[in-house]
Each structure stands twice: as structure tokens, then as C-alpha cells.
């Protein structure tokens, strides 16, 4: 069975529109892997802005350990000195699960003059076919897939990438439906490893921005429940 490929929606007269990047994630916590992903994709695709959108209740994975407020606060601190990066709490303001399709529709409403580009690491892109209403996503956005250590392009994802591969000019002149794979600096950093390090009292310096160290160390050294098997 072939993969669903939507007809790209063309804008009137094929004029170029600025591209708005959307980096969703659990950000539990945000780290330098996220920041390089956004920076390098923004450079290659000449993105006007990148919105960092922490998920409230991520539907495809275990629930975050840090609170939504803290994850958003850390995102805001991490990107404070970058004029192109924007903290975006729209998923935290919605109730229920954070479905990307709803987020994209909301961005279309708030940014009608941009074309949207969803930024995904390769591991996330490989799981795209399990997302809620995934076949509709490409009717709303383009997708940029960034390389990530440990993640190889899966068969189905590779087929989708092949069928929907588009140039930067096509991203700018069509509203949605294109995919590009972008080779970025491979940083083997994950939030999981950072949480494990913090749990063990290890340093996470140079894995997260310097401005996050104090709040993270403070949070992880405070007494927390459930660490010793909460029977």
C-alpha cells in the first residue's frame, strides 16, 4: 500500500512567503541538541522565526517529569538571547492531549502569512505514522527532518521523504506538503540522559545552556517523592 501524499496547496500566484519553524517537544528539559537543531535548520531554510512549543500531555510517550511551568520557564531562559527563537505556550493553554494537528491548525490561524515548517529529529519523524491524524499533517505544514545520532531513517519514513521531497523554493511558494532532510551537527544529547545524570547528582554542564544549571540543580537537589520505590 502506498503512502498517502497530499496535493501541495499552492498560494495565489506562487509568491514567496516567509517560513515559520515549529519545534515541538517535551523539553524535559530543553538541551543543546534542541538548540542546534533549531539553529541549523533555521539557517538552511532561512526561517523567519522558530517557535518552541512544549507539549502539555504528550500523547506518544511517558509523561514529563518536570512540570509544564518549569519546562516552559527553562525553554524561555534557554532561548532568551536569540531574537529568532520564540517560547510558545499554546499547547500548555489547551486542555487534553497535545496533538500536533491541532497545533498546526492553530498556527495557521495566528500566522496566516507564513508557511509552516515542522522541525523533527529523525527519531520523531520515524514515528510520525503513529501520530493522531498523521495523514493530514502534510496538508498543513512542510516538515524538516534533522539527523540525530542513533536514529536511522525507517523504511516507511524514507518512502514518505522520497515522495514528498521539495526544495527550499518550493517550501516558500507552496503552503504545505514538502519534506526535507537536513544534516545537522550530530550531538548525542537527550533529555533522558540529562535527567538520569541529574538524578545521580552528576554535572550536566555543556549539555544544557549555562543559564539552566542553577534551576535544574536546585530542582533536583530538593527532596522529591517516589525515588525510593513509593510503596
Q: Binding to ligand ATP by residue 77, rule CB under 6 A?
A: no
Minimum separation from the CB atom of position 83 to ligand ATP (A): 21
Who's near 102: CB < 8 A, 6+ residues apart?
94
Residue 50: alpha-carbon gap to chain centroid: 10
Q: Binding to ligand ATP by residue 148, rule CB under 6 A?
A: yes
Q: Which is nearer to ligand ATP, 40 or 164 (CB)?
A: 40
Size of the site for ligand ATP (CB under 6 A): 18
Q: Binding to ligand ATP by residue 191, rule CB under 6 A?
A: yes
Q: What is the DSSP letter of 9?
A: P
DSSP 95-107: -S---HHHHHHHH
CA 82, 189, 24, 142 dihedral sign is positive
Q: Binding to ligand ATP by residue 33, rule CB under 6 A?
A: yes
Q: Binding to ligand ATP by residue 35, rule CB under 6 A?
A: no
Q: List, edge to edge, every strand of the sheet that includes 142-146.
A: 85-87, 49-54, 19-25, 115-121, 142-146, 179-182
Find out whether 58 and 98 touch, Cβ atoms under 8 Å.
yes
Q: Binding to ligand ATP by residue 85, rule CB under 6 A?
A: no
Which of 167, 192, 211, 221 binds ligand ATP (CB under 6 A)? It is 192
Q: Which residue is nearest to ligand ATP (CB)?
A: 121
Minimum separation from the CB atom of position 126 to ligand ATP (A): 9
Q: Binding to ligand ATP by residue 189, rule CB under 6 A?
A: yes
Who's near 219: CB < 8 A, 6+ residues apart?
66, 70
Q: Binding to ligand ATP by residue 124, rule CB under 6 A?
A: yes
Q: Alpha helices, DSSP H only, in 32-121?
A: 32-44, 68-79, 90-93, 100-110
Contact region with ligand ATP (CB under 6 A), list: 27-35, 82-90, 156-164, 218-226: 27-35
Binding residues for ligand ATP, rule: CB under 6 A, are 25-28, 33-34, 37, 120-121, 123-124, 146, 148, 187, 189-192
Amino acid at each position: 500500500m502506498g503512502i498517502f501524499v497530499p496535493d501541495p496547496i499552492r498560494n495565489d500566484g506562487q509568491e514567496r512567503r516567509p517560513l515559520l519553524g515549529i519545534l515541538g517537544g517535551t523539553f524535559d528539559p530543553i538541551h543543546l541538541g534542541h538548540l542546534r537543531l533549531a539553529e541549523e535548520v533555521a539557517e538552511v531554510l532561512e526561517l523567519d522565526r522558530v517557535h518552541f512549543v512544549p507539549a502539555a500531555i504528550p500523547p506518544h510517550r511517558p509523561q514529563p517529569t518536570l512540570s509544564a511551568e518549569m519546562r516552559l520557564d527553562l525553554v524561555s531562559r534557554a532561548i532568551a538571547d536569540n531574537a529568532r527563537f520564540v517560547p510558545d505556550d499554546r499547547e500548555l493553554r489547551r486542555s487534553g492531549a497535545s496533538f500536533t494537528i491541532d497545533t498546526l491548525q492553530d498556527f495557521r490561524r495566528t500566522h496566516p502569512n507564513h508557511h509552516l515548517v515542522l522541525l523533527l529529529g529523525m527519531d520523531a519523524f520515524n514515528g510520525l505514522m503513529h501520530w493522531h491524524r498523521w495523514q493530514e499533517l502534510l496538508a498543513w505544514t512542510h516538515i524538516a527532518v534533522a539527523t540525530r545520532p542513533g536514529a536511522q531513517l525507517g523504511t516507511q519514513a524514507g518512502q514518505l521523504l522520497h515522495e514528498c521531497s521539495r526544495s527550499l523554493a518550493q517550501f516558500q511558494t507552496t503552503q504545505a506538503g514538502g519534506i526535507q532532510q537536513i544534516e545537522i551537527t550530530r550531538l548525542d544529547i537527550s533529555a533522558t540522559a540529562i535527567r538520569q545524570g541529574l538524578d545521580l547528582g552528576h554535572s550536566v554542564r555543556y549539555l544544557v545552556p549555562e543559564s539552566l544549571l542553577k534551576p535544574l540543580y536546585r530542582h533536583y537537589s530538593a527532596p522529591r517523592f517516589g525515588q525510593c520505590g513509593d510503596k
